[in-house]
Amino acid sequence: LDNLGTFKPQGLANIVWAFAKMEASHPPLFEKVAYHIVALDQLRAFKPQELTNIVWAFVKAEASHPAVLDKVADHIVALDHLGTFNPQDLANTVWAFAKMEVSNAPLFEKVADHTVALDNLGTFKPQGLANTVWALATAEVSHPPLFKKVADHIIALDNLGGFNPQTLANTLWAFAKADISHPAIFEKV
């Protein structure tokens, strides 16, 4: 992989994702990809899923390259809107940053603001909701409107069948960790 410049964004994302998914340790690969991404003038050619897959891969491979995360965060924060990001992209991105213990408040706030502005959270899977509030709580980024929106959404559900025990536990943990009082969500569970 001496010529990463010939790779399209999807190719870069797919290769690091594949190595991480298969737990194939290859630190030199991640280092080369990290330096390549950081050296790029901008990340406009990357689709949201490609950005998400890259940060997820670096977390799963335990490849610590803060400059890559900074570059991706700066790119996302500078976007006019996050309309091209699907719920899983949003949740996985903030989860990855929190998991790597990189608290980029502007990124977390942008994702939280975008999520709050959505008409409803029905497009989020339970895991995505849990990962989003878990990430904000873990990163110690306070955003009460997001927590209220998530709680109200969960409370309005007919049942919690889509939530597995870990998802419920992570969601409630996040509310407690963030010190967000919303008794009805605890009653619902």
Greatest alpha-carbon pair distance for the chain in Å reads: 56
Q: How many whole angstroms separate alpha carbon 76 and alpha carbon 90?
A: 10
> Which H or E run includes 70?
helix 66-78
Instruction: Determine contact, residues 175/151, Cβ cutoff 8 Å.
Output: yes
pLDDT digits (tens, 9 = 90+) for 114-134: 999 998 899 999 999 999 999
pLDDT reported for residue 103: 84
pLDDT reported for residue 109: 97
Q: How many CB atoms lie within 10 A of CB 186?
A: 12
pLDDT reported for residue 154: 96
CA-to-CA dists, residue 131 to 11, 43, 98, angstroms: 26, 25, 10
Report pTM: 0.93
Q: How many whole angstroms separate alpha carbon 8 and alpha carbon 162?
A: 36
> How big is the chain, counted in residues?
189
Question: Which residue ranges in the chain fall short of pLDDT 50?
Answer: none
Q: How many whole angstroms separate alpha carbon 99 and alpha carbon 82?
A: 21
